[in-house]
């Protein structure tokens, strides 16, 4: 459903006390990414949790090519909400075109997934080998360029780069030996769930590499993948990464943002039960996700102030 329809519905529901508006149906579109990846999985949890908390809000997910396309769709106003990863998200907020933050999704510490019997024990040993970096246009590819760039490496020059048409194709390529590793990140990411379920293991930058990466690109942050994020992962894994965010198109109505923020807050336990990564989708993380509250959608700002999370 187009955002124009959403606007008509919102205006039709306005009443003196705002009660009718709060109960009026609200339909929104949500851009995710290619099937089989983390964004569609998150999108499904997001849609279901909001519907359970407030049945008057209907969010329609749409598969896309990923973060880069999602930013363009937001800018064009052809989508209401979009899932956008890392630096692509922060660049979109800083562009000054009216795109705003609706909610923090989850932290994405970047790391590699390998077969359990792989002899590779370091990033240096992956040089020259085929690596699946993620779906074309995805935020994981952007993150990979940042992380590898901090080590003086280029994903095309120093590796045999594989860019996927579908994020879900990566695990099979690792398991059958077509690639040496799959780049991904965050807790509960579907590609790593599949690998871990088949005895796979993980590889992240070591301490010295993390220091080099963070010194080279201060936009990245030290992050840790908690123990138990995947089957067989008994210890936390230190890495670097960025936050993924739910962004709203320019001009999305204030009341729409307020209602979604309110529903997400009410659904915080539900969305976490649906997807491990989504436990980080909290009002507190949304309030802290950007340095300038002006980047936050006006309706979300109003909700966060009501919760005492913004001044």
- Tell me phi and psi for residue 213, to 5 degrees: -65, -45
Q: What is the pTM of this model?
A: 0.76
Answer yes or no: is 67 within a domain: yes
Cα distances from 178 to residues 115, 119, 153, 205, in angstroms, run 11, 15, 22, 23
Domain shared by 224 and 278, yes or no: no
Residue pair 240/279 in contact by the 8 Å Cβ criterion? no
Going by their DSSP bridges, the two strands 237-248 and 201-203 should be labelled as: unpaired
Residue 311 lies in a domain: no
Domains held by the chain: number? 2
CA distances from 114 to 32, 136, 212, 222, 293 (A): 26, 20, 23, 22, 40
Number of Cα atoms under 13 Å in the Cβ half of residue 171: 19
26 and 80 in a single domain? The answer is yes
Which of 203, 225, 242 is a domain's end point? 242
Question: Phi and psi dihedrals of 203, rounded to 5?
Answer: -135, 130
- One domain for residues 91 and 24: yes
Domain finish residue from 227, 242, 257: 242
Residues 44 and 133 in one domain: no
CA distance 129 to 92: 33
Query: What's phi and psi for 244, nearest 5 deg?
Result: -95, 145
As beta bridge partners, residue 130 has: 160
The answer as to whether 263 is a domain residue is yes
Cα(120)–Cα(102) distance, integer angstroms? 40
Tokens read off for 194:
């599949």
Q: Are residues 85 and 7 in the same domain?
A: yes
Residue 212 lies in a domain: yes
**Whole-number Å distance between alpha carbons of 283 and 262:** 9
Q: Pick from 242, 265, 286: which residue ends a domain?
A: 242
* Pair 98, 163 in one domain: no
pLDDT tens sequence for the chain (311 residues): 444 333 333 333 333 333 334 469 999 999 999 998 889 999 999 999 999 999 999 999 999 999 999 999 999 999 999 999 988 998 999 999 999 999 999 988 999 999 999 999 999 999 999 999 998 878 889 899 999 999 999 999 999 999 999 888 999 999 999 999 999 998 888 899 999 999 999 999 999 999 999 999 988 889 999 999 999 999 999 999 988 999 999 999 999 999 999 999 999 999 999 998 899 999 999 999 888 999 999 999 999 999 999 98
> What pLDDT is attached to residue 16?
31
Is residue 182 located within the same domain as residue 195? yes
Give dist(CA 241, CA 304) in Å, integer: 25
Contact 225, 94 (CB under 8 A): no
Residues constituting the chain? 311
Residues 189, 131 within the same domain: yes
Judged on CB neighbours under 10 Å (0-12, 13-18, 19+), 294 is exposed
Q: Are residues 203 and 237 in the same domain?
A: yes
Query: What CATH number is given to the structural domain containing 39?
Result: 3.40.190.10
Model pLDDT, residue 186 = 87
Q: What confidence score (pLDDT) does residue 238 get?
A: 97
Q: Two tokens at 19?
A: 């009660």
Is 233 contained in some domain?
yes
The domain containing residue 257 runs over which residues?
A: 3-107+243-306
**Residues 271 and 230 reside in one and the same domain:** no
Q: Are 219 and 87 in contact (CB under 8 A)?
A: yes
> What burial class does residue 240 get, using C-beta atoms within 10 Å of its C-beta: 0-12 exposed, 13-18 middle, 19+ buried?
buried
């Amino acid at each position: 459903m187009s955002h124009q329809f959403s606007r008509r519905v919102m205006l039709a529901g306005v009443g003196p006390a705002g009660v009718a508006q709060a109960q009026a149906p609200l339909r929104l579109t949500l851009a995710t990414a290619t099937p089989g990846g983390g964004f569609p999985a998150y999108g499904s949890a997001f849609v279901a949790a909001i519907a359970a908390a407030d049945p008057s809000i209907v969010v329609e997910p749409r598969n896309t090519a990923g973060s880069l396309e999602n930013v363009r769709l937001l800018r064009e106003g052809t989508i209401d909400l979009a899932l956008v990863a890392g630096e692509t998200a922060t660049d979109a907020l800083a562009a000054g075109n009216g795109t705003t933050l609706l909610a923090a999704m989850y932290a994405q510490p970047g790391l590699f997934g390998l077969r359990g019997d792989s002899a590779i024990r370091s990033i240096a040993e992956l040089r020259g080998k085929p690596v699946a970096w993620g779906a074309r246009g995805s935020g994981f590819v952007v993150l990979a360029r940042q992380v590898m760039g901090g080590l003086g490496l280029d994903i095309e020059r120093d590796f045999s780069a594989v860019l996927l048409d579908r994020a879900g194709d990566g695990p099979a390529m690792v398991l059958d030996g077509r690639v040496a590793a799959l780049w991904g990140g965050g807790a509960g990411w579907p590609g790593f769930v599949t690998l871990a379920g088949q005895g796979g293991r993980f590889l992240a930058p070591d301490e010295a590499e993390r220091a080099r990466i963070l010194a080279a690109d201060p936009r990245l942050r030290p992050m840790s993948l908690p123990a138990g994020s995947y089957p067989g992962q008994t210890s936390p894994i230190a890495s670097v990464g960025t936050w993924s965010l739910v962004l709203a198109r320019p001009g999305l109505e204030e009341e729409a943002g307020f209602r979604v923020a309110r529903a997400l807050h009410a659904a915080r336990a539900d969305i976490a039960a649906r997807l491990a990564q989504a436990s980080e989708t909290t009002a507190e993380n949304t309030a802290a996700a950007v340095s300038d509250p002006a980047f936050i959608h006006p309706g979300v700002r109003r909700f966060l102030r009501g919760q005492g999370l913004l001044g």
